[in-house]
Amino acid sequence: MATKDERWTTEQLVADLHRLGVGAGDLLMVHASLRAIGPVAGRAAGVVAALEDAVGPGGTLLMTIGAPEGGAPFDAATTPADPDVGVLAEVFRATPGTVVSDHPEGRFAARGCHAGELVSDVPWDDYYGPGSPLERFVERGGKVLRMGADVDTTTVIHYAEYLADVPGKRRVRRHPLIVRQGGVETVVVECLDDSDGIVDYPGPDYFGLILADYLAGGLASRGTVGGAASELLDAADLVRFAAQWMTERFGRLHR
């Protein structure tokens, strides 16, 4: 264990990840707080290296990276990750060999064996729904790795919003500026409301409520990676749980 004056090594993080249940060949969607993990040799790049070592050459890493709101038009090749997602997302995006989707809203980055399959040809509308990187991730047996991440940042639950049997789901239309063939144009994107929720639900963000209920059921592996309280969850099981949770609770709002 590292002291306050030491840095976690790649080898220590890999050992922690393996104790948590990460294995060779795994497909992981990663949500992490560098602050929670603590000082790491190589900083964010050291965390990326540890994740790659933990899943091995047959594994794949996936992260949601987003894009900054406002400002310059979206350029799939050069636009950085949304600062709100964290430093790790930008370092992951910029690491040579990372494949990045070209969607200005539901934007993912991936590394490893199945990276291209996951993030290419993203549906323009409903980019978190059927045919999306999230559906592909779930269908390929993906796991969600959370290392000190906020409770409301489990992106795969957006896919569950499409599967939940809820009447009157709120939809939005957005008009991002994007760079195309050397010029800039405004495009239209329509999707479920992934900013304010598919329904008005009283209380805290319902993503956090769903995750808390899932974890309370003992349905995830829990441990520590570096200094971060961490969880490893089966994505398909979490999506089933979340879709049922929303179907039951949101349905009551229409009774």
Inside any domain, residue 2: no
Least confident segment among 41-45, 71-75, 133-137, 171-175: 71-75
- Look at the chain and count its residues: 255
Specify the residue for token string 């040579």: 96
| Residue 255 in this model has a pLDDT that exceeds 90 | no
For residue 134, which of 58, 173, 191 has the smallest C-alpha distance?
191
Number of structural domains, the chain? 1
Inside any domain, residue 137: yes
> Exposed, middle or buried: residue 152 (CB in 10 Å: 0-12, 13-18, 19+)?
middle
Is the CB of residue 149 less than 8 Å from the CB of residue 232? no
Inside any domain, residue 73: yes
Inside any domain, residue 195: no
Domain ranges, residue 144: 10-167+204-252
Specify the residue for token string 């796991």: 143
DSSP 3-state assignment of 49?
Answer: helix
| Residue 17 in this model has a pLDDT that exceeds 50 | yes
| pTM of structure | 0.95
For residue 139, which of 121, 120, 164, 114 has the smallest C-alpha distance?
114
Inside any domain, residue 247: yes
Inside any domain, residue 174: no
Inside any domain, residue 227: yes
Inside any domain, residue 19: yes
pLDDT tens digits, 176-221: 999 988 799 999 999 999 999 999 998 889 999 999 999 999 999 9
Q: How many CA atoms lie within 13 A of 230 on its CB side?
A: 28
